[in-house]
Amino acid sequence: MAERVSPTRMELQATKWQIALAIQGRDLLKDKRNVLMKEFMKVAEHVMGRSDELERSAASARHALALAEALEGEEAVRSASFAARGEASIDVGGGDVMGAPAPRIERASLSRPLHERGYSLVGTSAKIDDVARRFEDELNLVVEVAASEARLRRLAEEIQRTSRRVNALENITLPRLVAERDTIEMVLEERGREDLFRLKRVKKRLHEKQQERA
């Protein structure tokens, strides 16, 4: 390491500046990681709550479906389901947390009024309407949970990336710079002692010559 370091006072100042810059960068990255962790925990808590709600919604929709098939007949329910097919519009919007990309998935409510579901209101019963409503509620939750999980993954990736940079600064960059600084200081101190020793020898010789002349 000493062979690569130029032991000059200018190099010492430059190395100290690099150390200060590395410490500042490390601290900023730690702050960023803390903010990302808070957002991650917030989104994770939301996902867990909505996942539980999704399970209940799915169970409720399947119960309503079984009840409608038992009372109205499977053929009537199947016909209504084919007629009720539609498209879901989902937009992926930009977003970030502390400069880290964390896109948000935007979507309009997938629930529809009775007259927009596509099946005949005259030929169906309230049981089929209830099945449609419950499955629409479930679909809304599916999209919401999926969007939150996608955001959660991006946050986790950015936290890992930030942690790697922090570790690199703490375990590689800073120790190397500190070692270089210590090497330069040691060499400069040794030079200073040698210069002081030479100066004393020169003074001693001058003093001896003055005495000889006297």
pLDDT digits (tens, 9 = 90+) for 43-91: 999 899 989 989 998 998 889 888 877 877 777 666 666 555 655 556 5
130, 32 contact by CB (below 8 A): no
Residues in the chain, how many?
214
SS3 content of the chain, % helix, strand, coil (to 5): 75, 5, 15
Residue 11 corresponds to which amino acid? E
Q: In the chain, where are the structural domains located?
A: 20-172
Query: What is the distance between the alpha carbons of residues 69 and 18, in angstroms, rounded to a whole number?
Result: 73
Instruction: Report the Cα 141 to chain-centroid distance in Å.
Output: 24
Q: Which residues of 58-69 are buried (b: 16+ CB within 10 A; e: fewer)?
A: beebeebbeebb
* Residue 26: predicted pLDDT: 96
Span 107-147, pLDDT tens digits: 555 555 544 555 545 455 677 777 777 888 888 888 888 88
How would residue 5 be classed by pLDDT, with cut points 50, 70 and 90?
low
Residue 27: pLDDT band (50, 70, 90) is very high
Asked whether the predicted pLDDT for residue 181 surpasses 90, the reply is yes
- Least confident range from 57-61, 78-82, 163-167, 210-214: namely 78-82
Bigger pLDDT: 37 vs 105:
37
pLDDT value at position 114? 47
E-only strand ranges, the chain: 90-93, 96-97, 100-101, 104-107
Options 1.10.287.3240, 1.10.10.10, 3.40.50.300, 2.40.420.20; which CATH number does 20-172 get?
Answer: 1.10.287.3240
Token pair, residue 53, equals 């709600």
Written as six digits, the tokens of 85 are 């097919």
